[in-house]
Structure 1
């Protein structure tokens, strides 16, 4: 089996309009391949790194410590830290490397006063597997960074804004973890229950009875903790499962509808379009078309 190495990554040519002084301060690496990949130990001088796992996993060694980056997890690497990694086959990983100059030191001071950016990055692993509110937003930003570079001649400025937004979301995620450690216990029980039983006929009232919780206070706490209502959260889980079944199984749309907890086909269509912007059939058609035109491994560098 072929093992991809750093030098095997395809290089996209710079867009002519992006030839500015900033071009050496941001790089985007997208590894999506059925081949494994290995990387030698290296250091980013003056650059921070954020890597996010869309599928599969990625194994990191940072300063003699081992970390396993799994699906829906992000790893943050401070500048000047020696590290290496290996990626198994069938993984989809996106990495952003950027300098303080690219983000803007005034922005960094506002987001992370008194040089706290390095402290912020020492949190290392962010796990969004149980937090669909942050996960959806962060994955959208990652995908937009890749798309904007390929399609937009002014990608430099767009990606800068997206990276800043990504830092804001990560900071907000950390802040939420600090302020809601106890109240999240009951909400996490509900979230785990929904992930395991999304296909059943579930209501917030039923869940509150199961865990002996007050309905009104739990409803408010759930939205405060996750950022969305109980029913929106449940629909997000169900539609994500629907998307997976549409793309990876030969099942019919009607079968998928009932298999993922929907008892009304018209309601299912309405929710699916509300969340994805497309009907199930259009979503499948567009996704298959994008897959066929997808480049396995790319390095995007501004």
Structure 2
């Protein structure tokens, strides 16, 4: 069985120089680094892609002589082969996780190798950090935590679990890069309407995830009261109504187009309680899920008859 290298005590102590990255045969590793005042990093080039997640502190990361400011809860991708180094801000040394990914980590999976190569290319074009307050980057810390957990626990099957979570992380990063212009400002600098729209777009793609008003307000960099008031002003409905609309619409599609059990559709649509699902579904459609399916089947059969 392959054993994942675990950070030694020296790795987690304050350091004045970069930690040594040890990548196992399957090509993925996470290290942590806590900088001491006076930390010095010489210009470095790596044969693998690096992903920084900033736990605390502020710094500039110089990538090919361009300064990229970093602060807490931001993610930065260092393209493979790019010359880079970190320079901490005075009085605010960095603490960070470093995810190192060899570009052929999953040799048996061509699609992954294409995704990691694409990540290096896109990161080179967008030399900027991704903030976890951004609607698209909101889920990145959770993905990194999953990889870190598997690395530390090393339970049965931890290697494929790490690889699966890594693929999910890389695809998420690529989707973010493919949808942001180089000059895009961070959401905290955007007008309130734009921040509300960011959250709405996030819900459209992630309505099945567990979400709360508090978390979405945090994503928009607004207080809960500001967020709820502004959301209704922009969309004419409350945030929860908007969320339930997208969950119910997806459930309608599954009821009409699949033979999934209703309890499975409830779960797939983001509901955790069947009675709650029935109540919300009937509120939006005036029908129970079972009645809706019967009606959808009737109309589908009728349409098919006319087509023939």
Query: Could you say which structure has the larger radius of gyration?
Result: 2
Q: Are residues 1:215 and 2:255 paired?
A: no
TM superposition shift of 1:139: 0.9
For 1:146, which of 139, 145, 148 is the aligned residue?
148
How many Å separate the matches in 2 of 1:193 and 1:163?
23
* Equivalence for 1:67: 68
TM-score (norm 2): 0.52
| SS across alignment from 1:81 | coil
Higher strand fraction: Structure 1 or Structure 2?
Answer: 1
* Equivalence for 1:4: 16
* Equivalence for 2:137: 134
How many Å separate the matches in 2 of 1:99 and 1:161?
15
Instruction: Say if 1:197 and 1:39 are closer, same or farther in 2 by CA, change over 3 A.
Output: same
CA RMSD of aligned residues (A): 4.0
TM-score (norm 1): 0.53
Q: Any stretches of 5+ residues in structure 1 without a counterpart?
A: 229-302
| SS across alignment from 1:164 | helix
* Equivalence for 1:162: 165
| SS across alignment from 1:44 | coil
TM superposition shift of 1:33: 5.5
Further displaced range: 71-80 or 155-164: 155-164
Q: Are residues 1:42 and 2:63 paired?
A: no
TM superposition shift of 1:49: 1.1
| SS across alignment from 1:67 | strand
> Which protein has greater RCO, CA pairs closer than 8 Å, 6+ apart?
1
| SS across alignment from 2:81 | coil
* Equivalence for 1:82: 83
Q: Is the 8 A contact 1:148 1:158 kept in 2?
A: yes
For 2:195, which of 188, 205, 213 is the aligned residue?
188
Higher helix fraction: Structure 1 or Structure 2?
Answer: 1
Q: Are residues 1:108 and 2:112 paired?
A: yes
Q: Is the 8 A contact 1:30 1:93 kept in 2?
A: yes
TM superposition shift of 1:30: 0.7
Q: Is the 8 A contact 1:130 1:188 kept in 2?
A: no
